[in-house]
């Protein structure tokens, strides 16, 4: 009897795994009818998805896509009418590799996606999504630390597995846009003052350790007298070119900054990460060409011996002798920087005025599903 039950269970599991993508979507019609309808109306897109093998589809549910189509949320502006841009967005929802929900733990994973367009993915192997378990749920972090929660997991089909999520993922932006929208406005202004914006945005595979506004304010008296070359020298010590170091890649080691000086990385037993004496306060802000980690001190390439203090929860003393805040507490370099256009979780985490996590929003106005996807060729880059 037990053998028969086991055989029946295996047969049922095999049947589920053998179902096509369309069958899998139909089986979740109450959650994925909007996505299924869009794909059925565009057989070229559906064929591309059906031909993909060993992938994980993070499938936005009906509420998430309805918000996109109805224009009830508004981050992406008029781009939603651009079929190529839509293709890039959908590519970002397909992970390379078939990941069952049991594969994800509380330690962040950074699987590559099928998004390879350099505007959003100037990184080796394709852009990533941060996926992990959090409060016993699987969540996926995308651009500006917006996150989506898996509502239904492990819908298997012949090409891989589907996880149904409650929010559309947000495409990572370039560095200059991210710094502003994450309320790292002092660093954004410093980058502009040093004429480093285009270089930072176009280099491939980069890690940036980004001081928050309070860190810049703590040495504002010194920054006021610096030339653009001096500011550029400081910023060069915060950039690691040619290496995308997500939090899972950081260990007790040294890495070389753009200016050729070593950065000492320290990882404490409790998971706290330090760069020289600066604590990483917000890790893994995904950008088009790599990753940004927010830190609570402006690093000094001429003072690399300052040791971290794991017991200290506040910002460390400035790495620059004589550094102090300006009267009135003004933040340097921010006078010509626009205010963040939204209230992203990255801005909230970095000490800005952000609100709670909102859906990765797309402004569509009156654009309907047919206008969004009708006739558009999905560029899947299989």
365 φψ region: left (φ > 0), alpha (ψ -120 to 50), beta (else): left
Joined together, the tokens standing for residue 341 give 């256009």
What domains, with CATH codes, occur in the chain? 2-170+360-373 (2.30.180.10), 175-349 (2.30.180.10)
Q: What pLDDT is attached to residue 370?
A: 34
Strands 94-96, 273-275: parallel, antiparallel or unpaired by DSSP?
unpaired
Note the pLDDT tens digit of each residue in 283-318.
Answer: 999 999 999 999 999 999 999 999 999 988 899 999
Q: What pLDDT is attached to residue 377?
A: 35
Note the pLDDT tens digit of each residue in 266-289.
Answer: 999 989 999 999 999 999 999 999
| 3-state class percentages of the chain: helix first, strand second, coil last, to nearest 5 | 35, 20, 45
Q: What pLDDT is attached to residue 9?
A: 43
Q: What pLDDT is attached to residue 79?
A: 56
Q: What pLDDT is attached to residue 66?
A: 84
Q: What pLDDT is attached to residue 94?
A: 94
> Tens of pLDDT along the chain (382 residues)?
554 554 444 444 445 567 999 999 999 999 999 888 877 766 767 787 888 999 999 999 999 988 877 765 545 545 555 667 777 888 899 999 999 999 999 999 999 999 999 999 999 999 999 999 999 999 999 999 999 999 999 999 999 999 999 999 999 999 999 999 999 999 999 999 999 999 999 999 999 999 999 999 999 999 988 999 999 999 999 999 999 999 999 999 999 999 999 999 999 998 999 999 999 999 999 999 999 999 999 999 999 999 999 988 899 999 999 888 876 678 999 988 887 766 788 886 665 433 334 433 332 222 333 333 333 333 333 3
pTM: 0.87
Q: What pLDDT is attached to residue 11?
A: 46
Of 193, 162, 159, residue with least CA distance to 179 = 193
Sequence-distant (6+) residues with CB within 8 A of 321 are: 303
Note the pLDDT tens digit of each residue in 81-98.
Answer: 566 777 788 889 999 999
Helix H or strand E encompassing 263: strand 262-267
Angle at 253 between CA 248 and CA 255, to 5 degrees: 90
In three-state secondary structure terms, 58 is strand
Q: What pLDDT is attached to residue 381?
A: 35
């Amino acid at each position: 009897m037990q053998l028969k039950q086991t055989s029946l269970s295996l047969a049922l599991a095999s049947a589920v795994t053998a179902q096509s993508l369309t069958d899998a979507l139909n089986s979740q019609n109450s959650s994925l009818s909007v996505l299924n309808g869009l794909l059925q109306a565009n057989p070229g897109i559906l064929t591309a998805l059906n031909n993909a093998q060993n992938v994980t589809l993070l499938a936005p549910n009906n509420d998430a896509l309805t918000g996109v189509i109805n224009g009830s949320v508004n981050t992406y502006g008029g781009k939603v009418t651009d079929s190529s841009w839509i293709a890039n967005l959908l590519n970002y929802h397909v992970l390379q590799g078939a990941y069952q929900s049991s594969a994800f733990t509380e330690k962040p994973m950074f699987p590559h996606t099928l998004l390879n367009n350099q505007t959003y993915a100037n990184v080796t192997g394709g852009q990533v999504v941060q996926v992990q378990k959090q409060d016993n749920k699987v969540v996926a972090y995308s651009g500006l630390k917006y996150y989506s929660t898996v509502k239904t997991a492990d819908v298997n089909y012949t090409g891989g597995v589907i996880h149904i999520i409650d929010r559309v993922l947000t495409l990572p932006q370039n560095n200059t846009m991210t710094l502003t929208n994450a309320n790292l406005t002092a660093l954004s202004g410093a980058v502009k003052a040093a004429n480093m914006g285009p270089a930072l945005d176009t280099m491939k595979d980069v890690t940036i350790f980004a001081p928050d506004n309070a860190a810049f304010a703590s040495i504002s008296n010194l920054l006021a007298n610096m030339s653009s070359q001096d500011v550029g020298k400081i910023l060069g010590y915060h950039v690691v070119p040619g290496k995308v170091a997500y939090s899972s890649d950081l260990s007790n080691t040294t890495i070389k900054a753009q200016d050729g000086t070593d950065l000492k990385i320290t990882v404490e037993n409790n998971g706290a990460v330090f760069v020289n004496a600066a604590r990483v306060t917000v890790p893994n802000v995904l950008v088009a060409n790599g990753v940004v980690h927010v830190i609570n001190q402006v690093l000094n390439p001429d003072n690399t011996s300052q040791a971290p203090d794991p017991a200290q929860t506040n910002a460390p003393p400035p790495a620059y002798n004589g550094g102090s805040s300006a009267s009135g507490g003004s933040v340097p370099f921010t006078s010509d920087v626009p205010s963040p256009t939204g209230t992203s979780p990255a801005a909230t985490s970095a000490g800005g005025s952000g609100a709670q996590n909102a859906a990765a929003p797309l402004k569509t106005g009156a654009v309907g599903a047919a206008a969004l996807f009708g006739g558009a060729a999905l560029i899947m880059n299989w």
